[in-house]
Structure 1
Amino acid sequence: MDENRHIHLSQVDVRLPDGTEFCQYVVRMPPAAMTLVLNDAEEVLLLRRHRFIIDRWVWELPGGYVDEAEDIAAAAAREVEEETGWRPKTMEHLVTFQPALGSIDHPQAIYLARGAQPTATAPDRNETADVRWFPLTHAVTMIDNGELVGGASVAAIYRALTLRP
């Protein structure tokens, strides 16, 4: 139905085991990679941006699309640097999930970076309005308050809580 480098929209005919038939819209998107960067003080690196689809300013983890032949961990690290101006020291895969499996094929890979170094490059102002470190426990409060709403960011923060001693 429609296609570009970030999305492929199609219709498929579905037949369920009981014989029910229907037409389903299917969205396929390339993988996305996101990184939860934690420093030694258990603070998480978040960026603030406007998400025009929901018309809100929100906080979220850095992340974005994985280029066609790009290593997913390298893409996750690249996105941190481009969007925050910080370079992750380590990259550890946490989880990969599908956010809306009923109609969208869009794998989300989440990485954990323990520590980061500031770079001389400023974040892309078209992607990031502000970059700050927040205590991990405060990020949970931001979820509760609706300041941090992206599914992958929420999943990553809750996953990070399970890694604490």
Structure 2
Amino acid sequence: MEPNGQELTRWKIHGERLVDDTRRDRVSIASVELPDGVKFEQWVFRIRPAAMMAVLDDQDRVLMLWRHRFIIDRWVWELPGGYVNPDEDPAVTAAREVEEETGWRPLDVEPLGSLQPIIGSADAENRLYVARRSEYIGEPADINEAERVAWIPLDTVRDRILKGEIVGAASQVALLHILAFYR
């Protein structure tokens, strides 16, 4: 019910047909009915939660990865992150991924929130964190993660988004949140 006492009208799900189930994703087709009686089928993707972190330094920069994403066949800047292991705290995942992918250990980690980047057809929660400090611990453990690791001035983020260099939803949300509330 809404706060004003009105009943909410929900879509009805008459069932889901499993298409594929892997260690990270579950894909199905749901039979759905809208409140006006219209029925249709909808692809549904249930993706393991992911965690990402924006690591900041005292020079107003953020630690980012320059990566090729084969699905869209583009080079893009992204925040470090990865899938949350079962029974692992998402903040631990985010910190571990930063270390593995960049060689930097995040300190003073705080939650920024979470988002669902494709909510119309997927449950793919992305948990976001920020670290205000870090320490260099050595070369990245996984050389396949990025072509380059760099500290990017926060003042260039909006322009990089406009130029299509930062396209990932979680990276954009975290960075724009930082620009709006953390400076």
User: TM-score, normalising length from structure 1?
Assistant: 0.96
Q: Cα distance, 1:54 vs. partner?
A: 0.5
SS of 2:131's partner is: strand
CA apart distance, 1:122: 2.4
Alignment of 1:108-127 (within 5 A): 108-127=126-145
The CA RMSD over aligned residues, in Å, is 1.0
Equivalent residue, structure 2, for 1:29:
47
Matching residue within 61, 69, 72 for 2:79: 61
Query: For the pair shown, which has the larger CA radius of gyration, 1 or 2?
Result: 2
Number of aligned residue pairs? 165
How far apart in 2 are the matches of 1:123 and 1:159? 29
Tell me, in whole angstroms, the C-alpha distance in 2 between the residues paired with 1:107 and 1:164: 23
| Cα drift, residue 20 of structure 1 | 0.8
Aligned residue number for residue 69 of structure 2: 51
Query: What are the residue-to-residue correspondences of 1:63-78 with 2, within 5 Å?
Result: 63-78=81-96
Deviating beyond 2 angstroms after TM superposition, the runs of 4 or more aligned structure 1 residues are 120-123
Paired letter, 2:37: G
C-alpha deviation, 1:123, in angstroms: 4.2
Partner of 2:180: 162
Identity %: 50
1:136 equivalent in structure 2: 154
The two structures have a TM-score, normalised by structure 2, of 0.87
Cα distance between partner residues in 2 of 1:95 and 1:152: 10
- Residue 21 of structure 2 corresponds to which residue in structure 1? 3
Which structure 1 segments of 5+ residues have no match?
none
* Larger relative contact order (CA 8 Å, sep ≥ 6): 1
